[in-house]
Amino acid sequence: MRYRSLALAAVGLLAIAGCATSPEADQAALAQRVLVGMPKQTLLSCAGVPTRQTSVDNVEYYTYSSDSLQTRMGPSYWGGFGGGPWHRGYWGGADWGSTEVSARNCNATFTLKNGVVQQLVYGSSTDSPAGRLSQCYAIVQNCLPLVPQQSSAAGGVGSRAR
């Protein structure tokens, strides 16, 4: 019975850890709400020229793309008997071991009607939600400071009064 409780607690902690996000991911998620209502001219000035754009039935779609490769090198320790740290295989040396490479991408599509942002949708093949949103932040980061009536309660960017 005690082990069952510990197992349930461990599963709960893993679930909470899986939901952890970065400040960039939080800001990208916030952008999906606070950028609604932004005029087209302001969007183009802060996000730049879209990667793709199309219009259907007086509705415009602007898609912006952001890609990055991230590498992380981890230490690898080795050792042996005799000698000194100057020769591989002897006691007390270290070198760089495995390299971890991860790719992140985001496509942010803004839907505009009558020259005003109606919706912002993110798409990505990045595995983790936090990683996906963190990459999307690269697209919207210059637009967030332009949102009126920002609140410091949300890390410098808040919801707009409507």
68: containing domain: 25-73+97-147
* Number of separate helices (H) and strands (E) present in the chain: 4, 4
Q: CB–CB of 96/73 below 8 Å?
A: yes
The pLDDT of residue 39: 97
Residue 11 belongs to some domain of the structure: no
147, HSE (Cβ side, Cα atoms, 13 Å): 26
The alpha carbon of 78 is separated from its chain's Cα centroid by a whole number of angstroms, namely 35
The alpha carbon of 38 is separated from its chain's Cα centroid by a whole number of angstroms, namely 22
The pLDDT of residue 31: 97
The pLDDT of residue 110: 98
Tell me the pTM: 0.63
The pLDDT of residue 86: 57
pLDDT tens, N- to C-terminus, the chain (162 residues): 554 444 444 434 334 344 446 899 999 999 999 999 999 999 999 999 999 999 999 999 999 999 877 777 766 555 555 555 555 555 555 555 677 767 788 999 999 999 999 999 999 876 676 777 888 999 999 999 999 865 444 444 444 433
Closest CA relative to residue 143, chosen from 37, 57, 31, 60: 31
Residue 83 belongs to some domain of the structure: no
Q: Structural domain tally of the chain?
A: 1
Residue 9 belongs to some domain of the structure: no
The pLDDT of residue 78: 54
The pLDDT of residue 94: 55
Where do we find the tokens 């912002």? 120
The DSSP element (H or E) to which 45 belongs, if any, is helix 40-47
The pLDDT of residue 12: 42
